[in-house]
């Protein structure tokens, strides 16, 4: 992959680690979605560029105030990172340990690629033909969710989930049951979330103040 040139300098507040981050060769990544995990929750980001010393990302809301994060790639790789700078909805981090840049870019290794999934746990109202009941969402993706409930649902059964939209207004999301294991069900949404809406929904469910900054 070609190295990026003429990169904009980081904010004046960036420390010496930021200077090292700028000096290292950088590789531009286009629309590589990942998630940032911190003490405040799990949040969607888009990787902008990466080097041996650090990484910069774009978010769809303000960055949580934590200093330490983990960067989780869709393929399953995890990298410990520390915040160096942030402005508007962009942020830069240093890696806490040496990394293989090419492996991060290509997500090569022992991890199979899979969709971005957030470990969000929250109650949700589920509607079926003629009944409505409460269930628990255990994780969420752009395409579907894993639920736990006491009701018996059939494979391919149509359900309706009352989920908040990014502005906090509850809306009906139609889905179908794709698998069942005891009290747990996997559902696939009829209409998937865009990455931006998915990111803002995650922030709304975990730290709504991030959407107001």
Place of tokens 């995990």: 37
Residues 81 and 128 in one domain: no
In the predicted model, what is the mean pLDDT of residues 16-39?
Answer: 68
Q: In angstroms, rounded to a whole number, what is the distance separating the alpha carbons of residues 118 and 152?
A: 25
Residues 43 and 101 in one domain: yes
Dihedral sign of CA atoms 192, 32, 70, 93 in order? negative
Residues 125 and 159 in one domain: yes
Q: In angstroms, rounded to a whole number, what is the distance separating the alpha carbons of residues 39 and 16?
A: 25
Q: How confident is the model at residue 74 (pLDDT cuts 50, 70, 90)?
A: confident
| CATH number of the domain enclosing 150 | 2.40.10.220
pLDDT of 209 > 80? The answer is: yes
Asked, for residue 89, whether it belongs to a domain, the answer is yes
Model's pTM, two decimal places? 0.81
Quote the tokens at residue 185: 């069900």
The pLDDT, as a whole number, for residue 7 is 35
Asked, for residue 203, whether it belongs to a domain, the answer is yes
Domain that holds residue 197: 117-211
- Picking from 6, 25, 21, the residue whose alpha carbon sits closest to that of residue 57 is 21
Asked, for residue 2, whether it belongs to a domain, the answer is no
Residues 135 and 200 in one domain: yes
Asked, for residue 5, whether it belongs to a domain, the answer is no
Q: Where are the beta strands (DSSP E) in the chain?
A: 27-38, 41-50, 54-58, 68-72, 78-87, 90-95, 117-118, 122-128, 131-141, 144-148, 158-164, 170-181, 184-189
Domain count, the chain: 2
Residues 34 and 92 in one domain: yes
Asked, for residue 141, whether it belongs to a domain, the answer is yes
The pLDDT, as a whole number, for residue 103 is 86
pLDDT tens digit string along 150-191?
999 999 999 999 998 878 889 999 999 999 999 999 999 999
Residues 172 and 191 in one domain: yes
């Amino acid at each position: 992959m070609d190295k990026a040139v003429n990169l904009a300098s980081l904010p004046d507040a960036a420390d010496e680690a930021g200077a090292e981050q700028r000096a290292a060769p950088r590789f531009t990544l286009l629309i590589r979605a990942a998630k940032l995990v911190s003490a405040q929750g799990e949040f969607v980001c888009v990787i902008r560029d990466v080097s041996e010393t650090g990484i910069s990302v774009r978010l769809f809301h303000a960055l949580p105030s934590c200093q330490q994060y983990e960067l989780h790639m869709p393929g399953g790789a995890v990298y410990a990172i520390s915040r160096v700078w942030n402005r508007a909805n962009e942020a830069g981090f240093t890696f806490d340990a040496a990394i293989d840049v090419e492996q991060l870019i290509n997500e090569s290794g022992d991890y199979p690629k899979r969709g971005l999934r957030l470990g969000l746990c929250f109650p949700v109202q589920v509607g079926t033909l003629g009944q409505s009941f409460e269930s628990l969402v255990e994780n969420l993706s752009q395409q579907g969710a894993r639920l736990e409930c006491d009701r018996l649902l059939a494979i391919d059964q149509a359900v309706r989930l009352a989920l908040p939209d990014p502005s906090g207004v509850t809306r009906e999301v139609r889905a179908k049951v794709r698998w069942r294991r005891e009290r747990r069900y996997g559902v696939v949404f009829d209409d998937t979330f865009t990455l931006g809406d998915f990111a803002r929904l995650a922030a709304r469910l975990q730290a709504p103040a991030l959407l107001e900054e």
